[in-house]
Chains A and B, each alone.
Chain A
């Protein structure tokens, strides 16, 4: 997630002071995502360097003059292309649990069933808790938060279903013969003789 695009998106609506931007970014997205003011300032500086935003100085009486930032045409284009670039979630191919399950299939102190059950317990515990949070959340006032929790339940649900599938296929898995790593041929590869096919 980039703070950079969040700032651009906010400036798109109207020019703002850096401090205001910091507060708004927390309010709009959600309460849990705490963006530090320093991060906002440094990001704005980088955006200015890249000519995506610019500022005007607004003179004040007592304090140092405030910089009011606004989005440039280039910034607008950048924002547009960001919206139109889909976000791709990584496949969790390197999942730690997956390694655990596959290793348990080789035989060991704990059966693969037990490994699955333990994992399922944990996932259900998490799902239960997220569900609790969801029940407490108010969809009218905390819609972004609710949507986020929904996303979590769906991912947990997917994990649970995957476990269910593994369980259903456990018997097949147990009989699965891992392919033996083919021994690396030593020396120079011999040339195969061309042989007439029999068909």
Chain B
């Protein structure tokens, strides 16, 4: 079942005299429970597309639906509410509020939504435990490694059990080990907690975790690649053996 859907989605930056088309005429359907990776050279409009999917940026033309609601038809307050209840965001940089503890950072969307603080903090603890940071709840962001910070951000995205998690190069700033942790966790969110995930990445090895990869070029989707299950595992083994024995 589709959960996010776009129709002729277009974003043009700049003014009329010098339009910079960032996303052009994108028709995309994200299925519920899907792990979708968006790839493409830098400047191809990946982030812009992602932000429009999450209601962070307004399309120049075209429409975005989350289930039955059309995002561009909402006013700022409704959109804000949507962001804190239906979407979870993970970004590359500046992800956490430096003066808040990990626990509070995770609880923020709940608190902004009016959940009593004690309950919000309890839920935040649970979410942190899910990303393996049960022992770091009282730490400030500066006291955490980059990978840990990103996991806190992930916990924040998960805490509201949003309809969709949107991640913009969440591993772009991490070493390969931390990057692996974060992607594994994202994958688990999809597999075990049935989250829907849209992830922008530059890294093929991160994208390889996805169920589906779309490629953008100059703001357009140029390839939509659904990756099959593991039917070919034996073949791979054989190939590997050959490679080793050669």
Interface set of A (CB-CB < 8 Å, partner B): 1, 32-33, 113, 117, 120-121, 124-133, 135, 148-149, 152-153, 156-157, 160-161, 164, 167-168
Q: Which residues of B have CB within 8 Å of A167?
A: 41
Across the interface, B187 reaches (CB within 8 A) one of A133, A135, A148, namely A135
**Per-residue contact bits, chain B 224-246, to A (CB 8 Å; 1 contact, 0 not):** 01011110110011001101111
- Pairs across A and B, CB under 8 Å, 14 listed: A32-B240, A117-B215, A124-B204, A124-B213, A126-B236, A129-B236, A130-B208, A131-B209, A132-B229, A132-B233, A135-B187, A152-B236, A153-B208, A161-B204
Known: A131-B208, A157-B204. A120 touches B223 (CB 8 A): yes
Q: Which residues of A have CB within 8 Å of B209?
A: 128, 131
**Per-residue contact bits, chain B 34-49, to A (CB 8 Å; 1 contact, 0 not):** 0000000100000000
Verify B208–A127 contact, CB threshold 8 A. yes
Q: Is the interface of A mostly helix, strand, loop or mixed?
A: helix
Interface set of B (CB-CB < 8 Å, partner A): 41, 184, 187, 204-205, 207-210, 213, 215, 222-223, 225, 227-230, 232-233, 236-237, 240-241, 243-246
Verify A125–B227 contact, CB threshold 8 A. yes
Known: A153-B205, A153-B208. A129 touches B232 (CB 8 A): yes
Interchain CA distance A160-B208 in the complex, whole Å: 11
Verify A130–B227 contact, CB threshold 8 A. no
B228 to chain A, nearest CB (A): 6
Q: Which residues of A have CB within 8 Å of B229?
A: 132
Across the interface, A1 reaches (CB within 8 A) one of B41, B205, B210, B245, namely B245
Q: Which residues of A have CB within 8 Å of B204?
A: 124, 127, 156-157, 160-161
Q: Which residues of B have CB within 8 Å of A124?
A: 204, 207-208, 213, 225, 227
A51 to chain B, nearest CB (A): 27
Verify B223–A129 contact, CB threshold 8 A. no
Q: Which residues of B have CB within 8 Å of A129?
A: 230, 232-233, 236
B207 to chain A, nearest CB (A): 7
